[in-house]
Structure 1
Amino acid sequence: MSNLVRLEAPEAETLRLAPHNLEAEQALLGAVLVNNEAFDRVSDFLEPGHFFEALHGRIFEVIAKLLRAGKVATPITLKTYLPDLDLGGMTVPQYLVRLAANATTIINAAEYGRTIYELALRRNLISIGEGMVNRAYDAPVDESPRAQIEDAERKLYGLAESGRFEGGFQSFASALKIAIDMASEAFKRDGGLSGTATGLHDLDQKMGGLQRSDLVILAGRPAMGKTALATNIAYNIAKAWRGERAADGLMKTVEGGIVGFFSLEMSAEQLATRIVAEQSNIPSFKIRRGDISPEEFGKLHEAVAEMQSIPLHIDQSGGISIAQLAARARRLKRQYGLDFLVVDYLQLLTGASKKGENRVQELTEITTGLKALAKELNVPIMALSQLSRQVEQRDDKRPQLADLRESGSIEQDADVVMFVFREEYYLQNKEPKPGTEDHLKWQTEMDRVHGKAEVIIGKQRHGPTGSVQLQFDANVTRFSTLAKEDYLPERLE
């Protein structure tokens, strides 16, 4: 025993209290008790849970209930609703009187409120951090680190978005300035669009481009070309991207945009092959088989070289939830920037509800989440959607809003609903016997619709509904602006 080393007693660690400011809490409550108008300066962002001292939070809660009921909040009216506690030789009614007596002015009430709110945020950050550490140490076997990261991101963004004190009403003059600035930017931008140009002239003229914070639903039956149109628009926007360094040192988008593409159905390789085919004008099946000529290989090489530098980011994960999609979109914007987001397609996302439960309710959660994400990131989100089979049972196959699957939530949350329709697809499956009169009529109809597609705008909050005719090359699945038959170029003098 004599060989044992004597262990020194550890020094007492300094106790670290969570960030708080009791004086600010007392000053705010005192100001409200003296003049109830002080409550209006903090009521839109401050909540009882933001107070460090539980009694202060309870006092603030009772004040809020009294004032919202149209009553007066004073030490006398409050004492009935508060617990009878011994506060170191002072009762709660006496403490209320002391708070009111020590209050001097309500001028700093809003500043006191912000101090309380920001300290509460710091305490919540500490709580989230401690939770992350403890969860990482004792994680369940079936929970991956990636799931923990996404959960932590969700909590952090939830914290960032809750109770912002810069919200609330704004003057009409400030709203008017934003509107005029947007119109000014549209005037300066090529094409005079208020939103992001899709690269399809007629569609841009109808919509004014893709507007920030909008949820755009692009729907259609299989083989109509939904994904092709989405990839065309995504590539056009990414290819047109041009940025400039702002005064704060950050890169600001001037033309086009940085694009994120969630391909839930196709792999990144399939999507890339399709885009290469569109841009090189070589069918994708020939590219996959290597059945191309030396001339075509040169065109392919040129297209790939041009595409390597465009800001288009693809996520090929299948079966992800709306929460996971939101977390990855936020991360993309933080790391690289983001101006346009595509989700292909809506019905492949999952909500928080368990499988087997009400699918309509789950889809409502998904569309509401996508609309909220568009507003949060301030970017247009285009979500592709399947249409129900009832389209096939009608003589007129043009889709309508009622054809959307679980249409209630999709139609309600969307700012724009567009349908892709190709009459050629339906006609070619109805070919009559060659040599008959019916076949001649059919051939005439096929010539009329060959290589054409129709984008039907069924809903648009910012502009008119209607349809736009586009050129469609089925071999390379490429949409482009349809050349007008009656268009004649201007004669040069």
Structure 2
Amino acid sequence: MAEKKLTKPYSLETEKAALGSMFLDQEAAIQGCGLLKEEDFYSPTNKILFMATASTVGEHGIADLSLIWRRLEQEGKAEQVPFSQLSEIAMTVGTSINLPRYAEELRQLSYYRRCIDNGRKMMEAACKQDENGISEALGNLREDGVGGDEPRTAAEVMAEYLQDLSEQRKNGKLFSRLQTGFINLDLLTGGLRADDLYIIAGRPAMGKTALALDISRGCAKSLFTEGKTVVFFSLEMNKRDIVARLYCGETGSDNVMFSIRENDDTRWAEFLRTFEKNGDFFEHMAKNIIVDDSNYITPENMRAKCHAIRIGGKEVGLIVVDYLQLMSTGRGDNRTQELSHISRSLKLLAKDFHCPVIALSQLSRQVESRADKRPMLSDLRESGSIEQDADAVMFVYREDYYFPDIDPEKKGIAEIIMGKNRKGPVDIFKLAWLPKATTFRNLTNDTKNWKPVNQKSPWEEGQK
């Protein structure tokens, strides 16, 4: 039996009805231009007619037939849409009241056609074993807005928001979002918010990766009971170094023990005993962190890998990228355009997987030329639209990095400067820096009016 050829879904009758409705009155013409796009029409003739109508409405405010015909003549397209056909469409409907329904049907049919096109692209890419092509087609499907939530009134959103907050307060939740384990960071942000992009920026060796790993550990514990995982993309360090950092950060161990330079057998034996003691404790947390150290990765690769994790039965609860300037798009754009595309893609990644995304970023050398070397937003290297796309930007600054002879009381103290916080205040808070373990810790004397509560995750309670 011959395979039945699939045809793309469309409705010429609905297309004519929508155009006819726009010809009836000024309000319908303006409404139609707002509701519809060229791609929503399947017929080439109707596409041309809609674009001429939209141009006429934009210039004159009305969809007058004689003006539309003049536009077609000016564009050399009058032969493709005879005036008799234009008149026929104008007489197709007697009222414009059904225009929203026509527009909704055309948008839905257009969405189905795009699904077919992207499905074919995905199939062709799969046959060619083109991973980027598969990721791009999959990304196009995910970013298509037609299958998503319908627009809602502000009153409806507020009612649902207040109900969620009330339930969280009843359950004793101090934060409604993902907790990082750093008290003041959680107070400033309310916890990491799903759909948001966070930037951690700083000069080399300032502690960006250490802070990102510390946050990853804290979030992994918060996500434990939800069956979600942290995905850490490391473009700079290999998997073994990342895991060693995670262990030292969790236990406070000296990271030199993971180096063959350590030749003290006594210390090595003590390290192994400590590791055995902390093994189960560390494993529970580490199982909730997936590390990818691919040398070359694009936003599309990243999306595909996160999607594969989801297909494998594990929801993604946090994505971390170390670091932004090592990513590429493979498009051949100039660097500013490339960084802009990457930052925008990471923001879309957060929305697609409904989780926070943390991206690390280098700073330009202009920081070094100032007397006060505390970074600011303008220091974002090759920034493109990083600052614009980010919901929050925090800088890591350690004074003893630049001034090793400072007051001993200031040594081992890091300032986390919240340079941008779209959903909260900007502020500076301090953390303790433990260089031997390459990790940060909360400072007990810098808690910004923190009121401690007995709130531990079930995973932490199980370690007693």
TM-score interval (norm. to shorter)? 0.7 to 0.9
Instruction: Tell me the residue number matched to 1:233.
Output: 215
Instruction: Tell me the residue number matched to 1:261.
Output: 232
Which is further off, 144-153 or 185-194? 185-194
Matched, 1:484 2:455: no
What's the C-alpha RMSD, in Å, of the aligned pairs?
Answer: 3.5
Amino acid at match of 2:355: V
Distance 1:339 1:302 in 2: 22
Which is further off, 259-268 or 103-112? 103-112
Q: Which of 128, 133, 153 in structure 2 is aligned with 1:171? A: 153
The size of the alignment, in residue pairs, is 439
Does the CA contact (< 8 Å) of 2:395 and 2:419 recur in 1? Answer: yes
Amino acid at match of 2:190: G
Distance 1:186 1:488 in 2: 19
Q: Which of 126, 145, 148 in structure 1 is aligned with 2:116? A: 126
Does the CA contact (< 8 Å) of 1:286 and 1:292 recur in 2? Answer: no
Quick one: structure 1 residues 415 and 14, their matched pair in 2 at CA, closer, same or farther if it must change by over 3 Å?
closer
Q: Which of 134, 137, 144 in structure 2 is aligned with 1:152? A: 137
Q: Quote the offset at 1:15 in angstroms.
A: 6.0
Does the CA contact (< 8 Å) of 1:276 and 1:300 recur in 2? Answer: no
Quick one: structure 1 residues 223 and 189, their matched pair in 2 at CA, closer, same or farther if it must change by over 3 Å?
farther
Unaligned 5+ segments in structure 2 are 453-464
Q: Which of 257, 281, 284 in structure 1 is aligned with 2:255? A: 284
CA deviation profile, 1:257-278 (whole Å, cap 9, x unmatched): 6322111111222211211222
Quick one: structure 1 residues 485 and 409, their matched pair in 2 at CA, closer, same or farther if it must change by over 3 Å?
closer
Q: Quote the offset at 1:227 in angstroms.
A: 0.7
Amino acid at match of 2:158: L
Q: Which of 324, 338, 345 in structure 1 is aligned with 2:316? A: 338
Distance 1:16 1:367 in 2: 38
Q: Quote the offset at 1:134 in angstroms.
A: 4.9
Q: Which of 306, 312, 316 in structure 1 is aligned with 2:284? A: 306
Distance 1:108 1:483 in 2: 64
Q: Quote the offset at 1:349 in angstroms.
A: 1.0
Q: TM-score, normalised by structure 2?
A: 0.81
CA deviation profile, 1:453-482 (whole Å, cap 9, x unmatched): 221112222222221111222222222211
Q: Which of 463, 469, 489 in structure 1 is aligned with 2:430? A: 469
CA deviation profile, 1:121-146 (whole Å, cap 9, x unmatched): 33333333444455566x5xxxx532
Aligned partner of residue 198 in structure 2, secondary structure: strand
Instruction: Tell me the residue number matched to 1:180.
Output: 162
Matched, 1:458 2:419: yes
Distance 1:306 1:202 in 2: 25
Q: Quote the offset at 1:382 in angstroms.
A: 1.4
Q: Any residues of structure 2 matched to 1:103-118 within 5 Å, and which?
A: 103-118=93-108
Distance 1:409 1:37 in 2: 37
Does the CA contact (< 8 Å) of 1:284 and 1:476 recur in 2? Answer: yes
Amino acid at match of 1:260: V
Q: Quote the offset at 1:427 in angstroms.
A: 4.3
Q: Quote the offset at 1:105 in angstroms.
A: 3.8
Instruction: Tell me the residue number matched to 1:369.
Output: 345
Quick one: structure 1 residues 238 and 65, their matched pair in 2 at CA, closer, same or farther if it must change by over 3 Å?
same
Q: Quote the offset at 1:166 in angstroms.
A: 6.2
Amino acid at match of 1:306: H
Matched, 1:316 2:293: yes
Q: Which of 421, 442, 460 in structure 1 is aligned with 2:397? A: 421
Q: TM-score, normalised by structure 1?
A: 0.77
Which is further off, 76-85 or 229-238? 76-85
Instruction: Tell me the residue number matched to 2:195.
Output: 213
Quick one: structure 1 residues 243 and 85, their matched pair in 2 at CA, closer, same or farther if it must change by over 3 Å?
farther
CA deviation profile, 1:68-106 (whole Å, cap 9, x unmatched): 2243224444333445559xxxx8333333333331443
CA deviation profile, 1:55-78 (whole Å, cap 9, x unmatched): 112222222222222432244443
Who wins on radius of gyration, i.e. which is larger?
A: 1
Distance 1:351 1:102 in 2: 48
Q: Which of 323, 328, 339 in structure 2 is aligned with 1:350? A: 328
Aligned partner of residue 338 in structure 1, secondary structure: strand
Q: Quote the offset at 1:408 in angstroms.
A: 5.9
Quick one: structure 1 residues 181 and 374, their matched pair in 2 at CA, closer, same or farther if it must change by over 3 Å?
farther
Q: Which of 347, 355, 360 in structure 2 is aligned with 1:384? A: 360
| Structure ranking higher on relative contact order (CA contacts 8 Å, 6+ apart) | 2
Amino acid at match of 1:397: K
Matched, 1:328 2:299: no
Distance 1:303 1:243 in 2: 16
Distance 2:309 2:2 in 1: 45
Q: Identity, % of aligned pairs? A: 33
Aligned partner of residue 108 in structure 2, secondary structure: helix
Instruction: Tell me the residue number matched to 1:4.
Output: none
Which is further off, 16-25 or 265-274? 16-25
Aligned partner of residue 123 in structure 1, secondary structure: helix
Which is further off, 385-394 or 272-281? 385-394
Amino acid at match of 1:262: F
Distance 1:76 1:42 in 2: 19
Instruction: Tell me the residue number matched to 1:434.
Output: none
Does the CA contact (< 8 Å) of 2:212 and 2:320 recur in 1? Answer: yes
Instruction: Tell me the residue number matched to 2:243.
Output: 272
Distance 1:372 1:121 in 2: 19
